[in-house]
Chain A
């Protein structure tokens, strides 16, 4: 059955979307939420486990103070009120990757409530309300081996890795976001981006979506203007910033097509598919599990001391939006130029490159030019492209010192990306340094003059512009390593 979906512009002209986002952030604490096991990514399956995070009979949780502190700092950065007293709660459901068959989470008494985050969309500030920020433990990972689908049914074996079980997880839930109209998908993306930057600035998580340390669920509903909000769906498996935008957009279109056909939206969990950009139905929430939340009796209530919270607030770093404003002024960029730096994810990289001794222009040229092009081509993040801010600073210094010209610098950069070493090392190893020694160049210039008598004649007649052809010949003969300015001067002095 083929369904013709209505065009997006048509849908948002007729319906008003309301969105909401639930974001999970794995904290970068040294140890897990309720035991002393290490949290670092990777490791052989089931090697970072103990009786507590395996849920062995008799084991008990002890809350990780560093995780509580990180959560409070996130709450403060999101302008939340920090609870003076709150509790953990058990969320009960059976699943093989949950060692205890309940998750220690928070329910009606979260650590942080009622905040906001300002997000810039098209130069305008949009204030996103934050409903709550709470702390919980992550689950393990189940791997279904054999069978055709890789799902539970049909698999011949189910393997569980509990290394991730018990890693501290912060859940950040927005209030419903109405009134963004056609911009809803962009607002969603901008929010997650800003949130990621805020959390990164707090240095509490590496917030990497591709590694799952930042995970996002997107709630979407549609209503006709003037009517009540519609039934919402929850789209899971949204694993990149681009996917956040696509998931909202595709769910808006899908819901509109259902409503247009006289159907009704079912409250359900949907899964986003990176390849098609579609969502498909997961389990229906109308017959959802009853989680039977109740206060976790193994843990004492949390009562963050007011002076502690105040000191945490005091020590918050400059938050990304204000930080960016300051940098824009320092770098002397227009709003538009700054926007392209932000969009490329290059703020920090440029900042670090400047700190390593380069001018803002020099740093920006590489990160937004050659390196951005590379990142786009290979579909990886700019930071992961293979060149560090120190590399870029060194490269630009070699250019500024006249040791490399632009073309040679690009060749050296390729070497850096290929992991051959630092720019200086590569320049030396490959013999790429600019030749500006007049003696060495004179022979090449004389050769070029002899080989191109017509051009030489024109120059003698005063048509200096013709020198370009001779310069090209010299550059070719020296494999691009000649300093063009010196070559030009030599040609003119020989022919006048």
Chain B
């Protein structure tokens, strides 16, 4: 058999369903690929060889017993290590959770297990998903398969790199300010942030509760849609989960793949069309817009004047929530404990644990958030940021009265060299300039490859109204049909 690691999830599922390949063979091939390349890519923090093979065997047995299998049964998947997996280490790439094996599965993990997906292991990320390059992982960075001297984006760089390096056909990410979409853009893969509340957060190690959204990562739009359909749906254990049917994202992706966008109105976000972006990124983006026009879409320019305040608002809301969410990591109940020598007071042990367990970027955000929420500053910072959030939502809703979806580049620049932006946090934060507004609004967004700039992938972002995730899949699939998928060269 040819190299199954090069196949799409759809193709793998078909092989398994027809019996032309077993889930075990498929899984073993991916485990072999990981063994062969991951010392160079470092996409994984933990490979669950045993668990993966056991899950694959179970799928094969179900098939042999004549059971009806789901559309992704037997397909391997890599899971970002901020998602709790029962009995499997879940560290959020932080020292403070080193060795912690949760006693429970996140809802999205349960859904994937039930659908017969095979979890290969846990992927690298910026510590607690705070970063845009995966360089802030406490366990070392991930390297971009397109150029190993460059970053794979972040925070979900591990999931995106695993796809680009053919270590997994599917991956799960979480998107708080762009952590699925920006890594997808810079690795030439597809990443979707569903509508907030469309996918359950139960079992996601929380960074910013009002923004965190788990979603699918894949190498094709259809694969992403298939995984989206597995992950999404109401979860009574997440109060912010929306009790409504999941939009037909798979149907929309297949319809879009026909390449016909007649009657679809695309809004080109004026504020994100030029300034601050690399010329190569803008060139690839404009070529893609031309391609979309040729498919029958109508493109109009839309102004979203409040988008310019999204970044500062985000850097108040997310740190504020994280300063509270991360308070539970104190060494009292689980995870790292430092300084418990029998002589020190409990408070001191809690303090020492946090001091050595958290990295610099996490501490920076905890401090910003603590300050922003403190009495006397709350209104000026957190309160003000919430008002901006309302204004950004208004920009979206009024835009969607005129157009079906909004488009922009996903991120202003292609994959940058490791170390290029770590000295100045603001330079790093700019990577999420275009992705953050959708998180503040709560609507869905997808990044789909739209070309190359200096040999590196460029992503196009499509955002849609809340609960209209299907719309963005249709446009993304149409663009994919026009441009094709991007394939990196062999790993150097």
Contact = CB atoms under 8 A, between A and B. Distances in A.
Contact of A292 (B208, B346, B373): B373
Nearest to A35: B237
A62 interface: yes
B237 A60 contact: yes
Contacts of A54: 333
Given A101-B328, A292-B324, A58 B237 contact: no
B100 interface: yes
Interface residues of A, number: 33
Interface string B309-341: 000000000001101100111101110000000
Given A58-B206, A62-B237, A294 B332 contact: no
Contacts of A58: 83-84, 90, 102, 106, 202-206
A121 interface: no
Contacts of B375: 290-292
Given A101-B330, A102-B327, A153-B345, A298 B350 contact: no
A297 B106 contact: no
Given A62-B236, A99-B328, A290-B375, A56 B104 contact: yes
A90 B347 CA distance: 21
B307 interface: no
A44 B209 CA distance: 33
A179 interface: no
A438 interface: no
Contacts of A293: 373, 378
Interface string B113-126: 00000000000000
A14 to B, nearest CB: 36
A55 B92 CA distance: 16
Given A94-B350, A156-B342, A300-B239, A51 B104 contact: yes
A313 interface: no
Query: Which residue, A61, A90, A293, has most C-beta atoms of chain B within 10 A?
Result: A90
B238 interface: yes
A100 B240 CA distance: 19
Contacts of B90: 57-58
Contacts of B92: 57
Given A160-B332, A294-B320, A297-B209, A60 B327 contact: no
Contacts of A152: 345-347
A155 to B, nearest CB: 9
Contacts of A297: 208-210, 240, 321
B201 interface: yes
Interface string B174-210: 0000000000000000000000000001111110111
A63 interface: yes
Contacts of A63: 239
A390 interface: no
A173 B320 CA distance: 29
Nearest to B320: A294
A57 B237 contact: no
A375 interface: no
Interface in A359-410: none
Given A58-B102, A297-B209, A300-B240, A100 B374 contact: no
Contacts of B106: 58
Query: Which residue, A156, A291, A298, has most C-beta atoms of chain B within 10 A?
Result: A298
Contact of A290 (B208, B330, B374): B374
A478 interface: no
Interface string A36-61: 00000000000000010011111111
Interface in A79-123: 90, 92, 94, 96, 99-102
Nearest to B208: A297
A134 to B, nearest CB: 18
A417 interface: no
A92 B237 contact: no
Nearest to B82: A58
A452 interface: no
Nearest to B83: A58
Contacts of B245: none
B370 interface: yes
A68 interface: no
Contact of B324 (A60, A92, A99, A299): A92
Interface string A143-160: 000000000110010101
Contacts of A94: 327, 330, 347, 350
Interface in B375-431: 375, 378, 382
Interface in A229-250: none
B489 interface: no
B346 A60 contact: no
A136 to B, nearest CB: 15
Query: Which residue, B102, B321, B324, has most C-beta atoms of chain A within 10 A?
Result: B324
B263 interface: no
Contacts of A290: 374-375
A46 to B, nearest CB: 10
A57 B84 CA distance: 8
Interface string B23-60: 00000000000000000000000000000000000000
B266 interface: no
B97 interface: yes
Contacts of B204: 58
Given A152-B346, A297-B209, A60 B239 contact: yes
B66 interface: no
Nearest to B94: A57
A299 B206 contact: no
A298 B209 CA distance: 6
A99 B335 CA distance: 13
B103 interface: yes
Given A297-B210, A300-B239, A92 B327 contact: yes
Contacts of A101: 327-328, 330
A61 B239 contact: yes
A102 B378 CA distance: 17
Nearest to B205: A57
A294 B320 CA distance: 9
Given A56-B103, A58-B205, A153-B345, A294 B238 contact: no
Given A55-B333, A62-B237, A90 B202 contact: no
Contacts of B205: 57-58
B321 A57 contact: no
A57 B239 contact: no
Contacts of B206: 57-58, 298
A294 B324 contact: yes
Contacts of B320: 294
A293 B323 CA distance: 12
Contacts of B382: 294
Nearest to A154: B345
Nearest to B104: A51
Nearest to A292: B373
Given A96-B346, A100-B328, A102-B324, A59 B202 contact: yes
Contacts of A51: 102-104
B350 A60 contact: no
Contacts of A153: 345
A158 B342 CA distance: 10
A301 to B, nearest CB: 10
B350 A96 contact: yes
Contacts of A291: 375
Contact of B373 (A60, A62, A92, A99): A92
A100 B327 contact: yes
Contacts of A61: 239
5 contacts: A58-B203, A63-B239, A101-B328, A292-B324, A292-B375
User: 3 closest pairs, A vs B, by CB?
Assistant: A101-B327, A297-B209, A292-B373
Interface of B: 83-84, 90, 92, 97, 100, 102-104, 106, 201-206, 208-210, 236-240, 320-321, 323-324, 327-330, 332-334, 342, 345-347, 350, 370, 373-375, 378, 382
Given A58-B83, A90-B324, A297-B321, 12 more contacts: A56-B333, A57-B102, A58-B202, A58-B203, A92-B323, A99-B333, A290-B375, A292-B374, A293-B373, A294-B321, A300-B239, A300-B240
